[in-house]
Structure 1
Amino acid sequence: MNSPCIDLCAFDGSTGWCRGCGRSKPECRTWKKAQPQQQRKIAADLPRRLAKLAGCGRDK
């Protein structure tokens, strides 16, 4: 599976997820060596993470 990286590496302080791809630093570091099922599991959660990150900046 190809990496979801979009070369925008900026990690959110409250979640620890990258604002570009949604992965954590450990997930980014181990992506190439991760088993395909682990990559798919992470990739399946990325839309939820990115939506949460997008909502973090909103005023309540």
Structure 2
Amino acid sequence: MDIASPCIGVCRVDNGRCRGCGRTLSEIAQWTRYSDAERAAIMRRLARQAAR
């Protein structure tokens, strides 16, 4: 399935999270190593955070 990165090119980290995509530094660094299931879980979390 290959879930694309949520990166929007606004790469500024504040309190351990990217202000552009909302991922942690670890999630950004590991993105290419995650399975589709792991990526999907992160994308769901990011969507919930954006809805707040």
Range class of TM-score, shorter chain: 0.7 to 0.9
Aligned ranges 1:34-53 → 2 under 5 Å: 34-50=34-50
Paired residue for 2:6? 4
* 1:56 alignment partner in structure 2: none
Q: Secondary structure at the match of 1:4?
A: coil
TM-score, normalised via structure 1 length: 0.72
* Residue 25 of structure 1: aligned partner: 25
Identity %: 38
Q: Which runs of 5+ in 2 are unaligned?
A: none
Instruction: Give the structure with the higher percent strand.
Output: 2
Q: Residue by residue, what CA displacement relative to the aligned partner does 1:6-42 show, whole Å, maximum 9, x if unpaired?
A: 11111112xx211100100000011011011000000
Deviant stretches of 4+, over 4 Å: none
Q: CA deviation at 1:51?
A: 5.2
Whichever of the two has the greater Rg, that structure is 1
Aligned length: 50
